[in-house]
Amino acid sequence: VQLQASGGGLVQAGGSLRLSCAASGRTFNGYTVAWFRQAPGKEREFVAGIRWNGSHTYFKDSVKGRFTISRDVARRTVYLQMNDLKPEDTAVYYCAASSRVILSTLRVSSSYNNWGQGTQVTVSS
């Protein structure tokens, strides 16, 4: 499955952005789709994930209550709605997908074998 991420940009603290991750080549059936981010000089970190059947969503603690993740089956797209953005949310955001993710490895980037290109999110203070 090929992934196309979009929706990044520059926003002031407290603002919102919605990132999109669209699949091509096949659907997301049976996949877990996640968003990771990487700030300069830092490790890539898990932000949020969703089982494609919609049964479960998962979040990094620091984004709970501010970010939501959802999917549009017909559009084969996963969305990351980011509200109340903070300067520490500044990073390149990547979407990733895998059909072989289990709960214990869901937050580990090496669990995913399909990656989209990154989209830059910059939050100014």
The pLDDT > 70 percentage for the chain reads 100
Residue 82: per-residue pLDDT: 98
Region 69-98: mean pLDDT is 96
CA distance 109 to 41: 17
Region 43-60: mean pLDDT is 94
Residue 27: per-residue pLDDT: 80
Whether the pLDDT of residue 1 is over 90: the answer is no
